Amino acid sequence: MYIKTQGIVLKQISFKDSDKILTLFCRENGKINAIAKGAKKTKSPFIGITQMFCYSEFVLYKGRNFYHINQGEVLNSFYSLREDLYKLAYGSYILETVEYGITEGESNERIFLLVLKTLKTLSLMERDFLKLLLAFQLKFMSFIGYKPELKICVICNNSQLDEIKFNIAGGGVVCSKCKHLGDEKIDKSIISAIDALLYAKLDTLESIVIPNHILKDIQTIVTKYTLNHLDRKTFKSLDFIKAIPK
């Protein structure tokens, strides 16, 4: 049976002499693995559609172990994400977050549209990549059920938040009574910046001004938060981001 679906290439690996196995995030079918026969051959019609980030309309059929790609038509190759070191690093981080954050075979159109919009925004922007990345991660984590709690203490439900910290595993802020259980420093200016990123439209991010030191503090919290709740020790793309010149 043939299936028509839109999908984004999260990962591609070589398989046998001339094939590729893709991890796709599909609009209708969620995360799936699909084999592209002969995709490594120079004249293969699958060369474009098997590139990382590429967003295409696929025709697939389901075999015993894998989906097989029968046809594909590129809708947006996101070429610039593979050509710019910074965009490649941040884009890889986005794809890795998605790969580990979604369950195989479960469709989620809201997340699909978030990922698509994030890649589109990243491909068009010239700076402020970190701000986009953090907005994406906060939204993504919220969409999969891990929205950070910023208004009441996650230990004792206290809404009096004068002196606070952030508890990674608990998923939110802790009050002054519980601050010995906090992992990361956080204050009102960090909270309001997180709040702004959580609710901002990605194409209006430019109008939200957040000082660099606050972005760095948010990055520390959000990175640990993502790894903790996705049950990962690290992401490969995190080393990539650290390695690129600032």
Interface residues with Zn ion (CB under 5 A) are 153, 155-156, 158, 175, 177-178
In whole angstroms, the minimum distance from the beta carbon of 164 to Zn ion comes to 9
Cβ proximity to Zn ion: between 153 and 221 the closer is 153
Q: Is residue 101 a contact partner of residue 144, using CB atoms and an 8 Å limit?
A: yes
Query: Of 38 and 171, which CB lies nearer to Zn ion in the complex structure?
Result: 171
* C-alpha to C-alpha distance for 219 and 154, rounded to whole angstroms: 20
Q: Tell which phi-psi region holds residue 54, choosing left (phi > 0), alpha (psi between -120 and 50) or beta.
A: beta
Minimum Å distance from CB 178 to Zn ion? 3
CA–CA gap between residue 35 and residue 38 (Å, rounded): 9
Rounded to 5 degrees, what angle do the CA atoms 72, 73, 79 make?
115
Alpha-carbon distance of 186 to 224, in angstroms, equals 14
In the bound complex, what is the minimum distance in angstroms from residue 179's beta carbon to Zn ion?
8
* Between 103 and 159, CB nearer to Zn ion: 159
- Smallest gap from Cβ 159 to Zn ion, in A, equals 10
For the bound state, the minimum distance from the C-beta of residue 153 to Zn ion, rounded and expressed in Å, comes to 3
Between 115 and 154, name the residue whose CB sits nearer to Zn ion. Answer: 154
CA–CA separation, 49 and 66 (whole Å): 17
User: Please, are residues 244 and 99 in contact by the beta-carbon 8 Å criterion?
Assistant: no
Q: Which is nearer to Zn ion, 178 or 194 (CB)?
A: 178
148 DSSP 8-state letter: P
C-alpha–C-alpha distance, residues 8 and 12, integer Å: 11
User: Which is nearer to Zn ion, 164 or 215 (by Cβ)?
Assistant: 164
Q: In this structure, what token pair is assigned to residue 85?
A: 């070191």
Query: Whole-number minimum distance, CB 174 to Zn ion, in Å?
Result: 5
